[in-house]
Amino acid sequence: MSIDPDPGLLDYSTRPARLPHPVDPANDNLEISLDTRVRMYELQQVLRQFEKRAYDLFMQNLVKGTSHLSLGMEAIATGFGLALRHDDYTFATYRGHAHTIARGAALGAVMAELLGRDNGILGGKGGSMHLTSVEHGMMGSYAIIGAHLCVANGAAWSAQMRGTDQVAVAFFGDGTTNIGAFHEALNLAVVWNLPVLFVCENNLYMEYTPIDLVTAVRNPAAGRASAYGLDPIVVDGNDADAVYVAARTAVENARRGKGPALIEAVTYRHGGHSRADPGKYRPAGEVEAWMGRDPIPMYHQRLLRLGVPEGQLTSITQDVARRVDEATEFAKAGERPTEGVLMTDVWADGGSAWRN
């Protein structure tokens, strides 16, 4: 007996590139204050420059372990970052640098964590994949696919029970829509009418496998919405304004007790999946086309059209560069964590004793 060598599955090599849609010119006119837009420009600059620096430090072998960058995807963390209130909850994945910073965590402490230093935001215990800043409502970065969608429900349930109008947001990728926990989380959120938003950052790939090869519907998130009685929402994940407006609306609804939403933001990562990955599996022309839809230069142009002086944008960019330099210095100045902390913080008493 022998297996059919090619069951005719859609395969990489023959796969057509998935090109970006053009920017919607109407987005210039979305109802967003210029002040908010300038802050979104600044935040995108911070995320971009921070992660480029993180990448450089990698290349200098200063960052051990792994790390997953959002270069090219900054508009999503930015749009939500500005739409959320300080006491809302964020749950992210291992690709969580941007979401952690967008909630207000200190650049230096985040950078130090990547470098595994004792002044890192987790004291070096968690590393790049587990960035957390509870004081900023950033409730964790989860490195195993799926679970955190269920955990976000819990934070939303808690807000509902405590009678606050806080909202919880879970960010995840296109590939994550195929794991069981996604289904369980969405169903419970709707049944309990929880104030939780599920935001799929659809960058078209899981690690190296194109999402179309492994998903029954073209839109991994929006295509599933009806299974939970939700509206299918797809937004341009490379336009911070489009993301911001979608986020603002969904957040408002959740605060008002109108329940959860599932939002698919279509985007693309400029680099590979993680440090090691050159991203070779992507068809010719695809990366280039998406580079042409880089959210930041596009946004720069928009702000100029809206009358923001070039000089203001330049000084923002330079100011961010200075902050990233400072963060890098802060991180490098940290020590490698020592024996003293190895056995702490397993339990609430600060220790790790399992016996008397």
Partner 1 sequence: MAELTYRDAVAYGIAQEMRRDPSLVMLGEDIAGAGGVFKTTVGLLDQFGPGRIRDTPISEQAILGAAMGAAMTGIPVIAEIMFSDFLAVCFDLVANEIAKSRYMTGGQVQIPMVIRTANGGGSRFGAQHSQSVENWCMMIPGLKVVAPSTPEDVVGLMAASIRDPDPVVFFEHKSLMASKGQVPDGEVVGKLGEARIVREGSDCTIVALALMVPRAVEAAERLAADGISAEVIDLRTLVPLDTRTFLGSVSKTSRCFTVEENPRLCGWGAEIASIVAEEVFWDLDGPVVRITTPHIPLPAAESLEDMAIPSVERIYETVRKALG
Ligand X SMILES: Cc1ncc(C[n+]2csc(CCOP(=O)(O)OP(=O)(O)O)c2C)c(N)n1
Supply the minimum distance, in Å, between the C-beta of residue 324 and partner 1. 22
Q: With binding defined as CB under 8 A, does residue 169 bind partner 1?
A: no
Helical spans, DSSP H, in 194-285: 240-255
- Dump the DSSP string for 151-171: HHHHHHHHHHHHT----EEEE
d(Cα 205, Cα 208) in Å, to the nearest integer?
A: 6
Contact 224, 177 (CB under 8 A): yes
- Please say which residue, 217 or 289, places its beta carbon nearer to partner 1: 217
Q: With binding defined as CB under 8 A, does residue 184 bind a copy of itself?
A: yes
Supply the minimum distance, in Å, between the C-beta of residue 173 and ligand X. 2
Options 156, 204, 262, 266; binder of partner 1; rule CB under 8 A: 156
Q: Which of residues 176-205 bind partner 1 (CB under 8 A)?
A: 176, 178-181, 184-185, 187-188, 191
d(Cα 82, Cα 163) in Å, to the nearest integer?
A: 23
d(Cα 180, Cα 39) in Å, to the nearest integer?
A: 37
Supply the minimum distance, in Å, between the C-beta of residue 229 and partner 1. 14
- Please say which residue, 95 or 248, places its beta carbon nearer to ligand X: 95
Q: With binding defined as CB under 8 A, does residue 35 bind a copy of itself?
A: no
Supply the minimum distance, in Å, between the C-beta of residue 27 and Mg ion. 24
Residue of 223, 187, 173 lying closest to 234 (CA atoms): 223
d(Cα 65, Cα 221) in Å, to the nearest integer?
A: 30
Options 41, 142, 171, 268; binder of partner 1; rule CB under 8 A: 142
The interface partner of residue 224, options being Mg ion, a copy of itself, ligand X, none and the CB cut-off 5 to 8 Å by kind, is a copy of itself
**What does the per-residue mask of binding to a copy of itself show for 190-229, with x meaning CB under 8 A?**
xxx--------------------xxxxx-----xx-xxxx
Contacts of 256 (CB under 8 A, 6+ apart): 165
Q: With binding defined as CB under 8 A, does residue 6 bind a copy of itself?
A: no
Contact 233, 223 (CB under 8 A): no
Contact 225, 219 (CB under 8 A): no
d(Cα 152, Cα 167) in Å, to the nearest integer?
A: 9
Contacts of 160 (CB under 8 A, 6+ apart): 192, 193, 194, 195
Q: With binding defined as CB under 8 A, does residue 62 bind a copy of itself?
A: no
Options 43, 150, 200, 303; binder of partner 1; rule CB under 8 A: 150
Options 26, 59, 284, 348; binder of partner 1; rule CB under 8 A: 348
The interface partner of residue 80, options being partner 1, ligand X, a copy of itself, none and the CB cut-off 5 to 8 Å by kind, is none
Q: With binding defined as CB under 8 A, does residue 144 bind a copy of itself?
A: no
Cβ neighbour number for residue 186 with a 10 Å cutoff: 25
Q: Which of residues 3-42 bind partner 1 (CB under 8 A)?
A: 3-7, 9, 11-12
Q: Which of residues 52-81 bind partner 1 (CB under 8 A)?
A: 64-66
Q: With binding defined as CB under 8 A, does residue 338 bind partner 1?
A: yes
Question: What does the block give as tokens for 293?
Answer: 């839809």
Supply the minimum distance, in Å, between the C-beta of residue 285 and partner 1. 18
Question: What does the block give as tokens for 55?
Answer: 């990448």
